[in-house]
Amino acid sequence: MTTYRQVAWDGRDATLRLVEVDVPPAPPGGLVARVTAAGVCGTDAHRLAGQVPSPARPITFGHEAVGVVEELGAGVAVDWAGDPIRLGDRITWFPNASCYRCHACVVLGNNSLCERKTWPEPAGVAGPAGFQDRALLRDNVVFFRIPDGTPEEAVIAFGCGMPTAVTAVRKAGVLTAHDTVVVQGSGPVGLAATLIARRSGVRSVVLIGAPDSRLDWGRRLGADEVLSIESTTREERSHRVRELTAGRGASVVIEAAGRPAAFPEGVALLARGGRYVVAGLYSGTETVPFDPVQVNNRDLTIIGSLSTRPAEKYEGVLLAARYHERFGLADFVSHRFGLDDLSAAIEHMASGTATKAIVVPKIPNA
């Protein structure tokens, strides 16, 4: 076994540190990959801020990763989509693995509710987390080969945000040419939802968010209108959405802001019979007042959207392959950091100064 670096986080004293880990041979049905980049997600910032429950023991994390296959375990000849996989192939994987054998996975068909998830991984042992030099993928870790000609950064640019957006738009139901979709939040999930909604052929897409650099990306990806939360009030945003929809409101609102205040505003933006998909409110304890009578009187549908199935993850990879050249998706990555500077990478994502920050491990003497 060879020793590599891994980022460990101890929630008891909120410290990040590098530890050394021995990576054993690839297990049957699994593989070993050299991590070439790991995306920083808003969830990582929420975790360090204490808004996501973590075990008492030190953990390692990083759930957006791309890399190169260095060793294949016995029986591994294809990825999770059935495409051939070989040594040296570039892959992306999703470390927060499900068991695919419990009631939620099998009967409900919703592995995001898996009863046996082991994420986040314990620190100090080999595993599939992204914030390390080498990753050990067990046989239940979903991975896909990155199509030839697709830059790795185009895949990691939206990270888990792309499959999360695929799931959210799917849960919104059938979208038609007379629908107006409002997306709340201009982070990776919101921008990916903007791209997907625009490609669905709807009448118009309105993106609400900040800062201006992310709203510029929203226009680039297909938003017909962008509304900055820094220069408009809630009342002004509501007026504009009504103005764009002949006074009716949005057919669908997708919450990707991750802020509780977005919820009452988003519901208020809906037309009668509209659908509200909650995709970004993943963590925290803050609450907001809400009148449930309007759900009945306006015949609204409110939908939760947690995580994604392997099919949506695969679709995210295919979308990156299809649109990376047209939209320059790799350019979405604005900041790069070393493995020993993860704290700064997370701070840049939390503050919004980075459209996307990634960690690029540089293995000593590699």
Separation of CA 178 from chain center: 28
Distance between CA atoms of 343 and 61, rounded to whole angstroms?
A: 13
The predicted structure's pLDDT at residue 299: 98
The predicted structure's pLDDT at residue 259: 93
Give 267-292 pLDDT, tens digit per residue.
999 999 999 999 999 888 889 999 99
Reported as a pLDDT band with limits 50, 70 and 90, residue 265 is very high
Q: Sheet containing 121-122: give its strands across.
A: 15-23, 2-10, 59-60, 121-122
Reported as a pLDDT band with limits 50, 70 and 90, residue 117 is confident
CA trace torsion 56, 58, 63, 65 (10° rounding): 180
Q: Greater confidence, 163 or 109?
A: 163
Mean pLDDT over 311-320 rounds to 96
Separation of CA 363 from chain center: 26
Reported as a pLDDT band with limits 50, 70 and 90, residue 145 is very high
Residue 182 has pLDDT above 90, yes or no: yes
Half-sphere exposure at residue 114, Cβ-oriented, CA atoms within 13 angstroms: 17
Share the mean pLDDT of the chain: 94
**Percent share of the chain, pLDDT over 90:** 84
The strand ranges marked E within the chain are: 2-10, 15-23, 31-39, 59-60, 65-72, 90-94, 121-122, 134-137, 142-145, 180-184, 204-209, 225-228, 250-255, 270-278, 301-304, 335-337, 357-359
Mean pLDDT over 248-275 rounds to 97
Taking each helix axis from N to C end, the angle separating 188-199 and 212-221, rounded to the nearest 10 degrees, works out to 20
β-bridge mates for residue 358, sequence order: 39, 336
The predicted structure's pLDDT at residue 15: 85
Give 53-112 pLDDT, tens digit per residue.
777 789 999 999 999 999 999 999 999 999 999 999 999 999 999 999 999 999 998 888
The predicted structure's pLDDT at residue 321: 97
3-class DSSP assignment, residue 226: strand
Which residues have C-beta within 8 Å of that of residue 233, sequence separation ≥ 6?
Answer: none
Q: Evaluate whether 2-160+323-359 and 162-304 have a shared fold.
A: no
- When the candidates are 3.90.280.10, 3.90.1170.10, 3.90.180.10, 3.20.20.210, the CATH number that belongs to 2-160+323-359 is 3.90.180.10
| Residue that the structure tokens 């919104």 belong to | 172
Domain ranges across the chain: 2-160+323-359, 162-304
Give 197-244 pLDDT, tens digit per residue.
999 999 999 999 999 999 999 999 999 999 999 999 999 999 999 999
The predicted structure's pLDDT at residue 363: 62
Residue 33 has pLDDT above 90, yes or no: yes
Distances (CA, A) of 228 to 41, 176, 233, 288: 22, 26, 9, 22
Distance between CA atoms of 17 and 229, rounded to whole angstroms?
A: 36
Strand 335-337 versus strand 357-359 pairing type: parallel
**Which class does domain 162-304 fall in?**
alpha beta
